[in-house]
Structure 1
Amino acid sequence: MKRGDRDWLDCSASISRHPVRGSSYLPVVQFVAAMISCGKHSAGVTVMFRKIVSLTSLLSFIITLFTSVVLYITPHGRVAYWADWSFLGLDKTQWGDIHITVGLLFCIASLLHIWLNWKPIMAYMKNRARELVVMTTPMIFSLFLVAVVTAGTLMHVQPMQAVLDFGETIKENQTTTLGNPPYGHAELSPLRVFCAHMGFDLEQSMHILKETGYTEKLDPSTKLVDLAHANGVTPQHVYLALRDAFSGGDAFKALPPSAPEGTGKMTLQALGTAYDLPMQEMLRRLTVAGLEATPEMTLKQIAQKYATSPKKVFETLRGDNR
């Protein structure tokens, strides 16, 4: 066994013989502190500690990067929970939890990496005369780059805005595909509350769901999400079963009583796709109400053009203004 490896094992054994009691975080703090202390007296331990810090930084960075991409393309929370969205077997909450905890590990490892490489970092901030100068050319360029990206994001400047718009486009497309809840966190509403909010008769709704095959946990007090999971479907499926039954085949009547969150950002084309609405009839209803529009326009754009609100445009499509 190499001398460095033997020193490392001796140091690790010493730490394990003196555990810290109390908070679950203390052993981790003690371990890091002890490794630093051991490293002062053993070159082998220092090298091993550097390797662990570097590899931990690398691996946690890869996972954090991957979870960042996943969260970038995930549907909006209201859609993800409504449609039981998952990726690689994990839902939106689980991906977020991994991102936070592994991201924290990456931050800690990065701080240790900076500490271990403090001398080289200081060397980057010295001029040719080996004098410490904080505002060196590399530092100025780095600060400028970070400032531009930060300010550009807040000011909606390209190309930062393009990155945000692309992510929003992905999320809105998934809203069209997966469906939008009729109101915020509708899946958490008991069946009784959900039916009252949607204007569905409770007794008739119970009968419809029973006939459809959703018999497990079928009770007015059961939350929609629990009812759906008990029957192996998503809350969206339960809602569609009720919506289609009560709409009587009228696609416009099947629209929610009020515009769901995020509807204003949807184009007429996307709204029509989401609710199976014929585009010609959508345009006709808007024209009759004095709202000329094209399939590519969002409800918000139509509302701004005619000094009204997206809610009014939605109500016009639903037929509430006829």
Structure 2
Amino acid sequence: MHICFGVVFLAASVLHIWLNIKPLMSYFVRKAQDTSKLRTEWIFALAVCGLVFWGALKPFVPFSSLLELNDRIKNSWEKPQQQPPIPHAETLTIAELAKKSDIELDTIIRNLKAAEIETDPSDIFGTIAEQHNLSPNELFEIATGRQIERPASEHNKGGGGSGFGQKTLKQACEEIGIESGKAIEALKAAGVEATGDMRVREMADQNNMRPGQIRQILENL
């Protein structure tokens, strides 16, 4: 932004000088004729400009400290979340995403399944990304086959990089914030036999379900 304003300021300065060239030249000629000695403020201004110029070329305190502070501020800025190339892809279903990206629906589902992400055509793309701690762009890369393995994002570091299906029921309950006892009862009421040490995917496979369906039961408690 400062570059844009700098260009505007420079253009305005050039235009101002061009429109007022005669008065400016007359002023400088008159001042040059009035005195042949350098005034104190001129010398001071020249010294300050020289100091700043040298500090920019060969950084030293306080100029080096200012540059370091600028770098620290820029590095501290949070990087914006990357978005997939299809506008508002996070609001689309998997089926709609396949249509807009000209990729076979079965291919997208197969790519996601290879990354241990279970989906069906009606699932919302953005919801899937959020559930698996991925950005929409990261999930899109996996769905289109451009990336095979799931990236180790900031959200799943320390968790082994596993998805929800790889968690035990106890771990899943801790993540969602519910008691494992209540979860086991709710799953049993839904016809799913489970224990705290069973993995979500194992429970889903035994009952012809998807891990996302198990999660939905738990989140509804």
TM-score range, shorter chain: 0.3 to 0.5
Higher CA-based Rg: 2
User: If each structure's helix is expressed as a fraction of its own residues, which one has the higher value?
Assistant: 1
TM-score calculated relative to the size of structure 2: 0.36
